[in-house]
Structure 1
Amino acid sequence: MATIKDVARLAGVSPSTASRALHNSSLISAATKEKIWAAMKELDYSPNFAAQNLANREANIVGVIFPPREISVGNDPFFVQVIQGIEAFCSARSYLVSVATAPTVDELIHNIEIMIKQGSITKFIFAYSKADDPVRDYVSAQPGVRYVVIGTPPQGHDHVMYVNNDNITAGSDATAFLMRKGYRHLAYVSTNLQEFVQNDRYLGYQRTMRAAGCEPVAVQLSNGADRFHDQTTFAHFLNRNPQVDAFVVCDDITGLHVQNMLKSLRRDTREYGMIGFNNSVFAETANPTMTSVEIFPRFLGNEAAVLVMDSPEKEKQKLGLNSSMVVVPHKIVERNSSRG
């Protein structure tokens, strides 16, 4: 098994320099770090995380914080792909990834407290962003802790590093796409407008509807957490808004939920247009298959990891990073749900 001395010998540097590069020390030039990391990869070097953590009093671990939800976020392909993007970058820098998740805010904060105080984790990535978030407030108050948000930072937090899509434009583009297909009475379906991503897509939907002289209408569901309530809410909504001929849905999972409720209400799903977000497996397996907005979650995760790791300037330039924010593009993937 290769040692740090073997890495140093191959890279032509001292063991202390190789060790500093492993911890991304600012004392080591970007060129030297690249040479040392290449040697680590060639030798398949695996650092002793436990020993390093004891020596540095800082874990070689990035914590990823999922939103508090009763339904497991592990069932959502968006979060799975975000983790894959984070892990791809972290593993290349000899860091591990640890996930913080819980059904309630209090439990989530408790888990993060353990990660910081007992696990010595000082780098975190929020895989979500919402208004008035006690979890983010707790992490912000911890000395020496660095974090990045995937999503829109709240007002008054301009200093926060974040990675995001332009979800207002994405919501507007999705709405305009269905209108070009001939749909005119579009409804927006959400599960939690306190989450900035859903609210931003709603704002984009409203902007395009009003620009076209159409009245926006919306319904909020529980995303399957309370199926009886959702069914009743959705039935009442359709009865009050019989003109609705298409849905802009906050994500693919909710879109599939809407399709299932339409079938339960003996409505023909082919009579309604639909577009979701995330371009996940749920869009591909829906019936009819669902048109969706691809937001590239792996790329979101990868870029967030780059920011939180404070990587060398050369790496930032290579990835197009020149600030503490990154905006990832989106594109519409058309399927049968928007073809009339």
Structure 2
Amino acid sequence: MATIIDVAKAANVSPSTVSRVIADHPRISLKTKRKVREVMKDLAYYPNIQARNLAAKKTMMLGVVMGHSAMLAFQNPFFPEVIRGISATAHARKYGLSLSTGGTEREILDEVRAMVQSKKVDGIILLYAKDQDPIFEYLRAENFPFVVVGTPPEHRLETDYIDNNNVALAEELVDYLIALGHEDIAFVGGDIHYGVTRDRVKGFEQSYAKHGLEVDAAYYQHNTDHVEETLLKLMQLKNRPTAILTQDDLMAYEIITHLERLAIRVPDDVSIISINNHALSNYVRPALTTVEIHIFELGYKAAEFLCQRIENPTKKAQHAFVETKLIVRESCAKRC
């Protein structure tokens, strides 16, 4: 097995120069770097990155934390796609990833504490934002580098975060449905304690107020664990909704399936509009009108923000919204 001394002899440089090439030191010329790297490749020399990172007090690992069970999270295409974006930045910057696997909030908090106290990662990305989150508060108290995918309910000015403008997004969708003649619109969303749901409700209400309409409280449904039951409640209302805004495409697919069983046609009887633009949204029937929220970019920029925070712990917090785009397909129709 080749050593750093073997590489130095073959490249006709000192061992310290080889070390600087491995560390990509800016004072080493590109010519020398290329020469040393070619020799390393020829000799199949692999530097002890772990030892180098230990000396630099860095792990070159990023923690990725989901707000609930990883087993459930990976059933939603949002999470693999946002992690794909995180991975792209991590790979470019030579970082690995460590994912939370806990099934409960307590287990996930214990995992995060272990990541921080054992110095297993250099920073953490939270893939959610919610009220009174003990993990968010713990990371703040520890002054540990972290970024939120979502808009934190508190301490926004001091927190790095990346999100879509979910208020404007929901307002645009309801504006679109109202323009089609719908005034009885239901919102089937997620947990109201999560920022994404609360912001979309706000956008929903802003659109109604703008058009001089009143929201029927019965049209707000957040029991997403029992979609069929929730849908039956809506369809049994005396003045049932003519359109439904769903929290994501997966829920829209499920709602369309249940409506078909009830002999309720989409979009002739009920229009469906959704969010995420999942890969299958153009292939279900009817093809889904939805919003492209650029999930990959959310992950990519979150990891960029975190790497910048790790490199410069005292820099001003960064906040950004990733643009969205309404994709009009076949699941919405004019209200006669």
Please give the TM-score of this superposition, normalised by the length of structure 1: 0.80
TM alignment of 1:109-188, pairs within 5 A: 109-118=109-118, 120-143=120-143, 145-188=144-187
In 1, Cα distance between the equivalents of 2:229 and 2:150?
Answer: 31
TM alignment of 1:298-337, pairs within 5 A: 298-310=296-308, 324-337=318-331
Residue type of the alignment partner of 2:64: V
The structural deviation recorded for 1:3 is 9.2
Matched, 1:266 2:263: yes
The structural deviation recorded for 1:146 is 0.2
Inter-CA distance 3–139: structure 2 relative to 1 (3 Å threshold): farther
Contact 2:188 2:244 in 1 (8 A): yes
Consecutive unaligned residues in structure 1, runs of 5 or more:
23-27, 314-321
Q: Which has the larger radius of gyration?
A: 2
Inter-CA distance 331–16: structure 2 relative to 1 (3 Å threshold): same
Residue type of the alignment partner of 1:274: I
The structural deviation recorded for 1:251 is 1.2
Q: Report the counterpart of residue 195 of structure 1 in structure 2.
A: 194
In 2, Cα distance between the equivalents of 1:312 and 1:100?
Answer: 20
Q: Report the counterpart of residue 220 of structure 2 in structure 1.
A: 219
Q: Which sits farther off after the overlay, 232-241 or 55-64?
A: 232-241
Pairs aligned (count): 318
TM alignment of 1:17-28, pairs within 5 A: 17-21=20-24
Contact 2:145 2:310 in 1 (8 A): no
TM alignment of 1:237-248, pairs within 5 A: 237-240=234-237, 242-248=239-245
Contact 2:64 2:125 in 1 (8 A): yes
Inter-CA distance 264–93: structure 2 relative to 1 (3 Å threshold): same
RMSD: 3.6
Q: Report the counterpart of residue 254 of structure 1 in structure 2.
A: 251
Contact 1:49 1:59 in 2 (8 A): no
Matched, 1:277 2:269: no
1:228-283: CA deviations, max 9, x gaps?
A: xx433331232225341111111112212222222333322332111111111352
The structural deviation recorded for 1:108 is 0.6
In 2, Cα distance between the equivalents of 1:93 and 1:148?
Answer: 17
Matched, 1:60 2:54: no
In 1, Cα distance between the equivalents of 2:118 and 2:277?
Answer: 38
In 2, Cα distance between the equivalents of 1:263 and 1:250?
Answer: 20
Residue type of the alignment partner of 1:92: A
Contact 2:192 2:222 in 1 (8 A): no
Q: Which sits farther off after the overlay, 176-185 or 85-94?
A: 176-185
The structural deviation recorded for 1:165 is 1.1
Please give the TM-score of this superposition, normalised by the length of structure 2: 0.81
1:172-231: CA deviations, max 9, x gaps?
A: 1111122223322211111211111121111111110121122224332443x3x4xx43
Consecutive unaligned residues in structure 2, runs of 5 or more:
none
SS in structure 1 opposite 2:245?
A: strand
Residue type of the alignment partner of 2:157: D
